[in-house]
Structure 1
Amino acid sequence: MVVNYGNKASITSLIVNGQKVVSGTDGAFTSVKVGSITYSSLQLKGKPILSSIPDGIQISRISYGDKELTINENWTFLKQKEGIKWRIERSFSKAVKVEEAAMPVINFDRINTWEGAYQGYGGIAWFYLFNEKLCTYGVHTRSSSFWNRKTNNGLNITVDAPDKEVAMKYTRTNEDQMAYTITVADQEMLPRLDSGTNRRRFIRKGTDVWAPFNISGGKSTQSLTFSYFDYQEKYGRGKLVGVNAGQVSAVLGTIARIGVIDSLHFGGNSWATPYGPICLHEQYIAQLGLGINDPNYLNGYKSCLDFYRDHAIKPDGRVYPRWAYTNEDAMPGQWNKEGFYEAQWGILMDSNPDLVTNVAELYDMTGDEKWVKTHQLSCEKALDWILKRDSNGNGLVEMMTDFTGQKHSSDWIDIIWASYENAFVNAKLYHALVKWAAVERLLHNTAKADQYEAFASKLKVSFNKPTSEGGFWDEEKKCYVHWRDKDNSIHGRNMVTPVNFMAIAYGICEDQTRQKLILDNIEAQMRHEKLFFWPLAMTSYTPAEGKEYQYPFPEYENGDLFLSWGALGVKAYASYDPAIAVKYVKNVLEQYGKDGLAYQRYGRLKQDGRGDDILSGNSLSIVGLYQAVYGVNPLYNRFYLDPHITPELAGTELKYNFRGQRLIINLDNDNYSISNKTFKVISPKSFGFNATANQLYYFNGSNPHAALQVTTDKPLTLKFNNWGQKKMEWEQSITKSSATPLAYLISELSSNTQYKISVNGRFLQKVSSNSKGELLVHYKALHLKEKINVDEE
Structure 2
Amino acid sequence: MFIKRVYIKLIFILAMLEPLTGSAKSTHKIITDEPKTITISTPKLSMVLNYNNKASVTSLVINGKKVISSANGIYTSIKAGGITYSSLHLKSNPMLIKTADSYKIDGISYGDKDLTINESWTFIKKDKSIKWLIERKLSKQVKVDEAAMPVFNFDDINTWNGAYQGYGGLAWFYLFNEPLCTYGVHTRSSSFWNSKNGIGLNITVDAPGKEVAMKYTRTNENKLAYTVTVSNQEMLPHTDSGTNRRRFIRKATDVWSAFNIPAGKSSQSLTFSYFDYNDKYGRGKLAGINGDQVNAVLSTIARIGVIDSLHFGGNSWHTPYGPVCLHEQYIAQLGLGINDPNYLKGYKSCLDFYRDHAIKPDGRVYPRWAYTNEDAMPGEFNKYGFYEAQWGILVDSNPDFVTNVAELYDMTGDKAWVKTHQLSCEKALDWILKRDSNNNGLVEMMTDNQAQKQSSDWIDIIWASYENAFVNANLYHALVKWADIENQLNNHTKAQYYENFAAKLKTSFNKSTSQGGFWDDENKCYIHWRDKDQTIHGRNMVTPVNFMAIAYDICDDDSRKKLILDNIENQMQKENLFFWPLAMTSYAPGEGKDWQWPFPGYENGDLFLSWGAVGVKAYASYNPALAVKYVKNVLDRYSKDGLAFQRYGRLKQDGLGDDILSGNSLSIVGLYQAIYGVNPLYNRFYLDPHITPELEGTALKYNFRDQRLTVNLDNDSYAVSNQRFKVICNKNFGFNATKNQLSYFNGSNPVASLQITTDKPLTISVSQWSNVKMEWQQTATKPSAKALTYLIKQLKPNANYIVSINGKAVQKVKSDDKGDISITHRISGASEKMSIGYGN
Change (3 A) 1:376 1:196: farther
CA deviation after TM superposition for structure 1 residue 82, in Å: 2.3
Change (3 A) 1:749 1:195: farther
- In the alignment, structure 2 segments of 5+ residues that lack a partner are 1-46
Q: Write the distance in 2 (CA, Å) between the matches of 1:25 and 1:60.
A: 19
Q: Contact 2:202/2:272 (CA < 8 Å) preserved in 1?
A: yes
For residue 437 of structure 2, the aligned residue among 391, 400, 410 is 391
Q: Contact 2:186/2:214 (CA < 8 Å) preserved in 1?
A: yes
1:370 to 2:419 alignment: no
Q: Write the distance in 1 (CA, Å) between the matches of 2:240 and 2:367.
A: 22
For residue 808 of structure 2, the aligned residue among 762, 776, 790 is 762
AA in 1 matched with 2:799: T
Q: Write the distance in 2 (CA, Å) between the matches of 1:123 and 1:24.
A: 29
Q: Write the distance in 2 (CA, Å) between the matches of 1:686 and 1:449.
A: 27
Deviates more, 1:696-705 or 1:192-201: 192-201
How many residues align structurally? 793
1:216 to 2:262 alignment: yes
Q: Write the distance in 2 (CA, Å) between the matches of 1:164 and 1:654.
A: 40
Q: Write the distance in 1 (CA, Å) between the matches of 2:398 and 2:107.
A: 57
CA deviation after TM superposition for structure 1 residue 54, in Å: 2.4
Please list the CA deviations of residues 394-445 of structure 1 after superposition, one character each: whole Å capped at 9, or x if unmatched: 0000000001100000000000000000000000000000000000000000
CA deviation after TM superposition for structure 1 residue 55, in Å: 1.1
Q: Write the distance in 1 (CA, Å) between the matches of 2:804 and 2:593.
A: 71
Mapping of residues 448-467 of structure 1, within 5 Å:
448-467=494-513
Normalised by the length of structure 2, the TM-score is 0.94
Change (3 A) 1:40 1:772: same
AA in 1 matched with 2:91: K
Q: Contact 2:783/2:827 (CA < 8 Å) preserved in 1?
A: no
For residue 297 of structure 2, the aligned residue among 239, 245, 251 is 251
Q: Write the distance in 1 (CA, Å) between the matches of 2:639 and 2:276.
A: 24
Partner of 1:610: 656
AA in 2 matched with 1:586: K
Please list the CA deviations of residues 12-61 of structure 1 after superposition, one character each: whole Å capped at 9, or x if unmatched: 00000000001111000000000210000000000001010221210001
Partner of 2:525: 479
Q: Write the distance in 1 (CA, Å) between the matches of 2:806 and 2:589.
A: 72
For residue 667 of structure 1, the aligned residue among 713, 738, 749 is 713
Q: Write the distance in 1 (CA, Å) between the matches of 2:120 and 2:439.
A: 71
CA deviation after TM superposition for structure 1 residue 8, in Å: 1.0
SS in 1 for 2:566: helix
Q: Write the distance in 2 (CA, Å) between the matches of 1:570 and 1:739.
A: 48
For residue 623 of structure 1, the aligned residue among 647, 661, 669 is 669
Partner of 2:596: 550
Partner of 2:21: none
For residue 79 of structure 1, the aligned residue among 114, 125, 129 is 125
Partner of 1:446: 492
Normalised by the length of structure 1, the TM-score is 1.00
Please list the CA deviations of residues 682-703 of structure 1 after superposition, one character each: whole Å capped at 9, or x if unmatched: 0000000000000000000000
CA deviation after TM superposition for structure 1 residue 737, in Å: 2.4
Partner of 1:167: 213
Q: Write the distance in 1 (CA, Å) between the matches of 2:170 and 2:785.
A: 51
Give the CA RMSD over aligned residues. 0.7
Q: Write the distance in 1 (CA, Å) between the matches of 2:242 and 2:189.
A: 27
For residue 270 of structure 1, the aligned residue among 307, 316, 330 is 316
Partner of 2:771: 725
For residue 191 of structure 1, the aligned residue among 237, 240, 257 is 237
Q: Write the distance in 2 (CA, Å) between the matches of 1:222 and 1:390.
A: 56
Partner of 1:514: 560
Mapping of residues 110-125 of structure 1, within 5 Å:
110-125=156-171
Identity %: 75
Q: Write the distance in 2 (CA, Å) between the matches of 1:455 and 1:54.
A: 70
Partner of 2:456: 410
Q: Contact 1:505/1:571 (CA < 8 Å) preserved in 2?
A: yes
Q: Write the distance in 2 (CA, Å) between the matches of 1:789 and 1:506.
A: 36
Q: Write the distance in 2 (CA, Å) between the matches of 1:692 and 1:491.
A: 53
Partner of 2:153: 107
Partner of 2:546: 500
Q: Write the distance in 2 (CA, Å) between the matches of 1:460 and 1:194.
A: 52
Q: Contact 1:700/1:723 (CA < 8 Å) preserved in 2?
A: yes
Mapping of residues 265-664 of structure 1, within 5 Å:
265-664=311-710
Q: Write the distance in 2 (CA, Å) between the matches of 1:332 and 1:365.
A: 38
Q: Contact 1:32/1:38 (CA < 8 Å) preserved in 2?
A: yes
Q: Contact 1:738/1:783 (CA < 8 Å) preserved in 2?
A: no
AA in 1 matched with 2:202: N
CA deviation after TM superposition for structure 1 residue 196, in Å: 7.0
CA deviation after TM superposition for structure 1 residue 80, in Å: 1.3
AA in 2 matched with 1:234: K
Q: Write the distance in 2 (CA, Å) between the matches of 1:79 and 1:208.
A: 34
Q: Write the distance in 1 (CA, Å) between the matches of 2:153 and 2:197.
A: 19
Q: Write the distance in 2 (CA, Å) between the matches of 1:301 and 1:205.
A: 31
Q: Write the distance in 1 (CA, Å) between the matches of 2:698 and 2:784.
A: 32
CA deviation after TM superposition for structure 1 residue 738, in Å: 5.6
Q: Write the distance in 2 (CA, Å) between the matches of 1:779 and 1:496.
A: 57
Q: Write the distance in 1 (CA, Å) between the matches of 2:650 and 2:300.
A: 25
Q: Contact 1:714/1:740 (CA < 8 Å) preserved in 2?
A: no
Q: Contact 2:760/2:784 (CA < 8 Å) preserved in 1?
A: no
Q: Write the distance in 1 (CA, Å) between the matches of 2:402 and 2:795.
A: 35
Q: Contact 1:561/1:602 (CA < 8 Å) preserved in 2?
A: yes
For residue 829 of structure 2, the aligned residue among 783, 786, 790 is 783
Q: Write the distance in 1 (CA, Å) between the matches of 2:797 and 2:561.
A: 39
Task: Report runs of 4+ in structure 1 exceeding 3 Å deviation.
Answer: none
Q: Contact 2:448/2:531 (CA < 8 Å) preserved in 1?
A: yes
Q: Contact 1:154/1:231 (CA < 8 Å) preserved in 2?
A: yes
SS in 1 for 2:227: strand
Q: Contact 1:191/1:198 (CA < 8 Å) preserved in 2?
A: yes
Please list the CA deviations of residues 441-498 of structure 1 after superposition, one character each: whole Å capped at 9, or x if unmatched: 0000001100000000000000000000000000000000000000000000000000
Q: Write the distance in 1 (CA, Å) between the matches of 2:354 and 2:314.
A: 15
Q: Write the distance in 2 (CA, Å) between the matches of 1:564 and 1:323.
A: 19
Q: Write the distance in 2 (CA, Å) between the matches of 1:585 and 1:101.
A: 46
Partner of 1:237: 283
Q: Contact 2:759/2:784 (CA < 8 Å) preserved in 1?
A: no
SS in 2 for 1:94: coil
